[in-house]
């Protein structure tokens, strides 16, 4: 069965961050909530992982795996019955890893009011056909916002590398 897989040379062509953009929308159901009627943090984390994996996969056109969840900041609760909008985009690419920023907003279905409820930064690694890390395409930030996110992601990566080195000692 054909896989319609891109050629190896097209896999490493530079790409714009917006080409990896993913938007998911979910509804908060009773099984998603705690005794306070607000969403479990773990449910939000699962949705973050899915959206970020989709963005990394769109960017690399490879199978990807989660390497880390660097930061997750909850800013406001999400209530039962509200809609959750999850936006993910690749911010930075190292050799095989990709930094994906994820923004979560809740929407009141009756008023349309949207609230920024969480932000997360994840790292995914592209895999080859043998399940080994493989190069991901470079990223070409173009807009001032993409450049700002690229530079912040680069600093997060440098911080992760420094921390890993310190912990090895």
For residue 119, the model assigns a pLDDT of: 97
Residues 113 and 73 sit within 8 Å (Cβ to Cβ):
no
Q: Is position 4 within any domain?
A: no
101 token code pair: 């920023």
- Reply yes or no on whether the pLDDT at 137 is more than 60: yes
Q: pLDDT tens digit string along 52-88? A: 999 999 999 999 999 999 889 999 999 999 999 999 9
Q: Is the entire prediction scored with pTM above 0.85? A: yes
pLDDT band at 11 (very low <50, low <70, confident <90, very high): low
Residue 119 lies in a domain: yes
Asked if the structure places residue 25 within a domain, the reply is yes
Residue 38 has pLDDT above 90, yes or no: yes
| Predicted pLDDT at 154 | 94
Left if phi > 0, otherwise alpha if psi is -120 to 50, otherwise beta: which for 82?
beta
Q: Is the pLDDT of residue 3 over 60?
A: no
Q: What is the CATH number of the domain that holds 56?
A: 3.10.129.10
For residue 108, tell me if it sits in a domain: yes
Give the domain range for residue 86: 16-168
Query: What is residue 103's predicted lDDT score, i.e. its pLDDT?
Result: 98
Average pLDDT (117-122) is 97
């Amino acid at each position: 069965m054909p896989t319609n897989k891109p050629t190896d040379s097209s896999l490493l062509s530079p790409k714009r961050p917006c080409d990896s953009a993913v938007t998911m929308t979910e509804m908060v159901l009773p099984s998603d909530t705690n005794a306070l009627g607000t969403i479990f943090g773990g449910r939000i984390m699962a949705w973050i992982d899915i959206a970020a994996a989709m963005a990394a996969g769109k960017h690399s056109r490879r199978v990807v795996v989660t390497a880390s969840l660097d930061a997750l900041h909850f800013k406001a609760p999400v209530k039962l019955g509200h809609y959750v909008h999850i936006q993910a985009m690749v911010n930075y690419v190292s050799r095989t890893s990709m930094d994906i920023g994820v923004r979560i907003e809740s929407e009141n279905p009756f008023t349309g009011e949207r609230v920024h409820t969480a932000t997360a930064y994840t790292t995914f690694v592209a895999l080859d056909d043998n399940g080994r890390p493989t190069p991901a395409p470079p990223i070409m930030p173009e807009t001032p916002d993409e450049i700002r996110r690229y530079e912040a992601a680069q600093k997060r990566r440098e911080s992760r590398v420094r921390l890993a080195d310190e912990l090895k000692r």
